[in-house]
Chains A and B, each alone.
Chain A
Amino acid sequence: MADLHIPDALLVKKYVDGNEVALSTLIKRHESKIYGFIYSKIADRDISNDIFQDTFIKVIKTLKSNSYNEEGKFLPWVMRISHNLIVDHFRKTKKMPMYRETEEFSIFSIMSDDSLTIENKMIFDQVEVDLKKIIEELPDDQKEVLVMRMYQDMSFKEISELTGVSINTALGRMRYALMNLRKIIDKHQIILTN
């Protein structure tokens, strides 16, 4: 109990001289202020505990190596160490943000599975089959350009060279191919959705 009336500076001196109880008194005296300060910035108990621990590890190392020279200002000094560690923490999380699941926030709102479900895959496959059948209905010159462009991913320059027509003709054939596809789809009231 007597330790409660001893100033910080004297406790620091005692600790540096080898009195381990002095450290315990210093921690008990200031733990609430320091932890509260960290928690007010971090708002996460586990991370706040980590930062509190790292803060005092620095304090212990500095005191034990006799590098401390701010007598009488123990608390502001510890607060400054914890402040620097908080800044370091935010720098790290900015580079690699960590998300925790809470009641308001679900981790699945930022994580999603982009692959198709079995049902969507079946629909997708059916659409592909229907589309190929419709393409077969197109005149040969238009079908040729459309297949080269859409399925073989060729440029209009390559298509024009391969089919022996100008780029403008190839572009025109593509345009007519798409217009005719739409006409066929409308005429037969085909629904191509996924």
Chain B
Amino acid sequence: MGKIYSKKALATQDLKPKKEVVSFLLSYSQALTIVKIENKNFEIIAN
């Protein structure tokens, strides 16, 4: 078998974001409420 000298393309790897990032996004989404008052959006983050 000949050696393969070419580098693996970055995009071909099965890459995933950190679990913490996904977990943060889901918690953020649950906590966030956006209220629209007279064409203005107000973001409310629940603790």
Seen from chain A, the residues whose Cβ lies within 8 Å of a Cβ on chain B are 20, 23-24, 27-28, 31-32, 35-37, 39-40, 43, 48-49, 52-53, 56-57, 60-61, 64-66
Chain A contact surface mostly: helix
Residues of A with C-beta under 8 A to B10: 36, 39-40, 43
Could you tell me the distance in whole angstroms from the C-beta of A142 to the nearest C-beta in chain B? 66
Q: Is the CB of A24 within 8 A of B13?
A: no
CB distance from B22 to the nearest CB of A (A): 6
**Could you pull out 8 A-B pairs where Cβ atoms are within 8 angstroms?**
A23-B25, A32-B14, A40-B11, A49-B21, A61-B34, A64-B29, A64-B32, A66-B36
> What secondary structure prevails in chain B residues at the interface with A?
mixed
Q: Footprint of A on B, CB under 8 Å? A: 9-11, 13-18, 21-22, 24-26, 28-30, 32-34, 36, 41, 43
State A35–B10 Cα separation when bound (angstroms): 11
A residues in contact with B13, CB < 8 Å: 36, 39
Q: Cβ of B26 and Cβ of A35 under 8 Å apart?
A: no
Q: Are B29 and A20 in contact (CB under 8 A)?
A: yes
Closest chain-B Cβ to A51's Cβ sits at a distance in Å of 10
Residue pair B17, A49 in contact (C-beta under 8 Å): yes
For the complex, give the distance between the alpha carbons of A100 and B29 in Å: 33
Q: 20 additional contacts, CB 8 Å, given A32-B15, A37-B11, A66-B36?
A: A20-B29, A23-B25, A23-B26, A23-B29, A27-B22, A31-B16, A31-B22, A32-B14, A32-B16, A40-B11, A43-B10, A48-B15, A48-B17, A49-B17, A49-B21, A52-B21, A53-B21, A60-B32, A61-B32, A65-B36
